[in-house]
Amino acid sequence: MANQQLVLYASLAVILLVVLGSAFYTFSQVNGLKNQVATLQTQVQEANSLLVNQQQRLQAVESQLSASQVTGKVVLFYDSDCVLCDNAALLSNIDQTRQALLEQRIGLELVDVKDNANPALAAGVKHVPTFFSSSSDLAVNPRLVEFMNSLVSIRFSLQETAQGVYAFPPLTGQIISTPSCSVEGEVKLEEFYSPTCAFCRPVFYDNGTQYNNASLDARFSVLSGDAAKNASAEFGAKLDLRQRCVAIHSLEENRDVLNVSKSDEALCIEEVGADAFDENEKTADRYGVYGAPLFVVDCQYTTSVRESDKLKQAICQLHSELCGNQTTA
């Protein structure tokens, strides 16, 4: 009986040893697998990091390649502190615009003149925001010419000089070539108009028929001259209004459109005199006036609005002390 118990205990001991050995082996295997998994995860992370690095390098190379293919450039000069400029609308899709231009081998550069206007002035830019492209760039990339012309469809005005082409936004801007003449409690308003500007004054054909008849085209129902008179009545002695007749259309243009045998210059001299016309032209050149109608407020802000309420809003945005709470543009 004692021998049987001994054999039984020995058997149990062997079984226990086998179980313990098996458990230890399983534990060792699991630990090994965990270590392998951890090693694999580290390797995957390193591979991902390497992949991201390679992608960044590839993007940099592609960017450099694209830049090397650029054959023309357009520069957007703007002032991030401009009170009247609608910078938000202008810059909202600038990245998409830059990419679209890059696909046509056109580079787009943004230059904020807030702290330094010299780069803009060197390019002949007198007010912002303005798109500018040099004559040399326009000569080598026809797509750049197309882009500048396309701005006309969104009501930008174009001006061409020996330096290049300038595109101005339809409503407001800031003059950077002259200092402000703002005075607390007063506003200086200058209206630039031409005698044949259909949105400035009543304009007539040579036979006396009105060219800009509002009954034929509703756009002619609002004229800048009326807005100027209404602003004068609204602000009274607090507004210094100067209406400046300038030459916009040549003799040939007036002949072709109105059958009028006088240029804007001749018509202005008849209206205001030679000395006043010369002063108006010099002032327009100093401001960089590019067309009519155009209002200049406090020698520094431009707006081409013709509606009386919108002109008043622009004035109130710059001179809230004259308008109480009416400061929205």
Are 221 and 118 in the same domain?
A: no
In the prediction, which pLDDT does 178 show?
92
CATH code where residue 127 lies: 3.40.30
* DSSP for residue 103: T
Report helix, strand or coil for 258: helix
What contacts 116, CB < 8 A, 6 or more positions away? none
Answer with the residue of higher pLDDT: 5 or 95.
95
pLDDT of 7 > 60? The answer is no
Tokens 């602003």 -> residue: 231
What percentage of residues in the chain have a pLDDT greater than 70? 78
Segment 97-125 shows an average pLDDT of: 93
Are 185 and 117 in the same domain?
A: no
Are 200 and 304 in the same domain?
A: yes
pLDDT of 329 > 50? The answer is no
- DSSP-derived pairing of the beta strands 164-168 and 130-134: antiparallel
Q: Indicate the average pLDDT of the chain.
A: 85
Look up residue 138 and give its two tokens.
């326009």
In the prediction, which pLDDT does 204 show?
96
pLDDT of 51 > 80? The answer is no
Answer with the residue of higher pLDDT: 103 or 33.
103
In the prediction, which pLDDT does 70 show?
83
Q: How confident is the model at residue 11 (pLDDT cuts 50, 70, 90)?
A: low
Of the residues 171, 203, 226, which one is the last residue of a structural domain? Answer: 171
Alpha carbon distance 95, 93 (integer Å): 6
Alpha carbon distance 296, 265 (integer Å): 21
For 47-91, give the DSSP string.
HHHHHHHHHHHHHHHHHHHHHHH--EEEEEEE-TT-SS--HHHHH
Residue type, 190: E
In a domain, 23, yes or no: no
Alpha carbon distance 308, 243 (integer Å): 15
In a domain, 307, yes or no: yes
Are 314 and 184 in the same domain?
A: yes
In the prediction, which pLDDT does 86 show?
86
3-class SS letters over 176-228: CCCCCCCECCEEEEEEEECCCCCCCCCCECCCCCECCCCCCCHHHHCCHHHHH
Alpha carbon distance 79, 115 (integer Å): 9
In a domain, 132, yes or no: yes
Report helix, strand or coil for 114: coil
In a domain, 129, yes or no: yes
Helix (H) or strand (E) holding 312: helix 308-318
The answer to whether residues 200 and 211 touch, using CB atoms and an 8 Å cutoff, is: no
Domain span at residue 128 reads: 69-171
Residue 237 phi, psi dihedral angles, 5° rounding: -70, -15
Are 151 and 208 in the same domain?
A: no
Of the residues 171, 204, 233, which one is the last residue of a structural domain? Answer: 171
Answer with the residue of higher pLDDT: 68 or 109.
109
Segment 73-84 shows an average pLDDT of: 93
In a domain, 15, yes or no: no
Are 252 and 128 in the same domain?
A: no
Of the residues 154, 171, 188, which one is the last residue of a structural domain? Answer: 171
Residue 206 phi, psi dihedral angles, 5° rounding: -60, -25
pLDDT single digits (tens) 222-235: 999 999 999 999 99
Are 121 and 212 in the same domain?
A: no
The answer to whether residues 141 and 106 touch, using CB atoms and an 8 Å cutoff, is: yes
Are 198 and 236 in the same domain?
A: yes
Alpha carbon distance 293, 200 (integer Å): 6
Are 284 and 244 in the same domain?
A: yes
In the prediction, which pLDDT does 89 show?
86
CATH code where residue 183 lies: 3.40.30.10
In the prediction, which pLDDT does 290 show?
83
Tokens 């109480």 -> residue: 324
In a domain, 187, yes or no: yes
Phi-psi region of 213 (alpha: psi -120 to 50; beta: other; left: phi over 0): beta
Report helix, strand or coil for 171: coil
In a domain, 130, yes or no: yes
Please, which contacts does 3-12 make with residues 24 or more away whose CB atoms are closer than 8 Å? none
Look up residue 228 and give its two tokens.
């100027």
Are 182 and 305 in the same domain?
A: yes
In a domain, 3, yes or no: no
Are 300 and 166 in the same domain?
A: no
Report helix, strand or coil for 41: helix
Report helix, strand or coil for 94: helix
In the prediction, which pLDDT does 79 show?
95
Are 197 and 286 in the same domain?
A: yes
Which of the residue ranges 12-16, 101-105, 171-175, 255-259 has the most confident prediction, judged by mean pLDDT? 255-259
Q: Using alpha carbons, list the distances in angstroms from residue 40 to 28, 43, 45, 110.
A: 18, 5, 9, 47
Number of domains in the chain: 2
